[in-house]
Amino acid sequence: MIYARIAGTGSFLPGEPVTNDDLVARGIDTSDQWIIERTGIRSRHLAAAEMSSSDLAKTASERALEAAGVRPDDIDLIIVATSTPDCIFPSTAALLQSKLGIRNGAAAFDVQAVCSGFVYGLTIAEKFIRSGSHQRALVVGAEVFSRILDWSDRGTCVLFGDGAGAVVLEAAGAPGILASALHADGSHHPILCVPGGVAAGQVVGDPFLRMDGQAVFKFAVRVLGDVALEVLDQAGVTVDSVDWLIPHQANIRILQATARRLGVSMDKVITTVDRHGNTSAASIPLALDLAVRDGRIRPGHRFIIEGVGGGFTWGAALLQF
């Protein structure tokens, strides 16, 4: 039987942290206290104008490859989860492939599931590996959300940041992904979306992120609790057997409410939203890499990753490191 396991993790945050006070100094009508009380966010990272999602993905990927002890050409599948691609096409995954110097014809494509994108990408990669068609996948979440923010809308612009996280997933004789579940319901799209598009060389509609914060909060807490219980049930284990919970890092209140619903202590929740805000598809692999590198997640540990994002999409996976 072929299984898949994480062999290495990596992450990258561009530039120096931009604090809440830095945003106030830039003229945004807000305060450090207002942001912290409502979101738990203290800082975020914003990519320089010349940096793209594939640039952030490249550094995160190089670190994951190094951690896994493999060369770029050992990768035969590349999946990039992003809502902020470098361009309409080619895919950010294909551009990343070029920047990493992978010349072996590895399959490469993007996944667009917004903040659930990394869970989607990892789940898809596992299916490829378990089928026997591929041996080693690079799965990346990379975003430059600062490019789609309306900086006059204090209700959204203070929430998001830029970054990338990556994992190397490889074939193994024992399971590293114990269960997974993916869902979507497009009827909820108006509460979190970027409704604009491009046609005839012009932006058509609204090109900025728009969000109904209260509606998103209620939806997120419900489905994150449901999908975590779903993967636990699939695996036939209880939440008590899980060492860590790694939710999408959107808002500390969502993390706290989800933990309460599952009966998990916040001591077991990997939390990074305070230092980089909501980085959409990058948030889960950023948090995962931090916890692996600081020694909290160790071989044998079980953990749940879960995300919810515009679409609406949501999903979770139960892993063993």
Q: What is the pLDDT of residue 55?
A: 98
Do the two domains 3-174 and 178-320 of this chain adopt the same fold? Answer: yes
% the chain with pLDDT above 90: 100
In the chain, what are the domain boundaries?
3-174, 178-320
Domain 3-174 has CATH 3.40.47.10: yes
Q: What are phi and psi of 121, to 5 degrees?
A: -60, -45
Q: What is the pLDDT of residue 105?
A: 97
Q: What is the pLDDT of residue 14?
A: 98
How far apart are alpha carbons 235 and 220 in whole angstroms? Answer: 23
Give the N- to C-terminal CA distance of the chain in Å, as an integer.
18
Parallel, antiparallel or unpaired: strands 177-184 and 313-320: antiparallel
pLDDT tens across 279-307, in order? 999 999 999 999 999 999 999 999 999 99
63: confidence class by pLDDT, cuts 50, 70, 90: very high
| Long-range CB contacts for residues 185-194, cutoff 8 Å, separation at least 24 | 185/311, 185/312, 186/311, 186/312, 188/219, 188/311, 188/312, 189/310, 189/311, 189/312, 191/215, 191/216, 191/219, 191/312, 192/114, 192/216, 192/309, 192/310, 192/312, 193/310, 194/83, 194/148, 194/310
pLDDT tens across 199-249, in order? 999 999 999 999 999 999 999 999 999 999 999 999 999 999 999 999 999
With beta carbons less than 8 A apart as the criterion, state whether 319 and 6 touch: yes
Q: What is the pLDDT of residue 273?
A: 98
Q: What is the pLDDT of residue 127?
A: 98
What would the mean pLDDT of 17-39 be, rounded to a whole number?
97
Catalytic-residue membership of 251:
no
**From the CB of residue 78, how many other CB atoms can be counted at a distance below 10 Å?**
28
Q: Which of 115, 134, 157, 251 is catalytic?
A: 115
% the chain with pLDDT above 70: 100
Catalytic-residue membership of 115:
yes
Q: Which of 157, 248, 251, 276 is catalytic?
A: 248
pLDDT tens across 122-177, in order? 999 999 999 999 999 999 999 999 999 999 999 999 999 999 999 999 999 999 99
What would the mean pLDDT of 21-30 be, rounded to a whole number?
96
Q: What is the pLDDT of residue 217?
A: 96
pLDDT tens across 218-227, in order? 999 999 999 9
Q: What is the pLDDT of residue 238?
A: 97
Q: What are phi and psi of 190, to 5 degrees?
A: -65, -20
What b/e string do you get for 230-239 counting C-beta neighbours within 10 Å, with b at 16 or more?
bbbeebeeee
Q: Which CATH superfamily is domain 178-320 in?
A: Thiolase/Chalcone synthase (3.40.47.10)
Catalytic-residue membership of 248:
yes
Rounded to the nearest 10 degrees, the angle between the axes of helix 32-39 and helix 252-262 is: 20
Q: What is the pLDDT of residue 71?
A: 98
Closest CA to 79 of 63, 64, 94: 94
How far apart are alpha carbons 43 and 25 in whole angstroms? Answer: 14
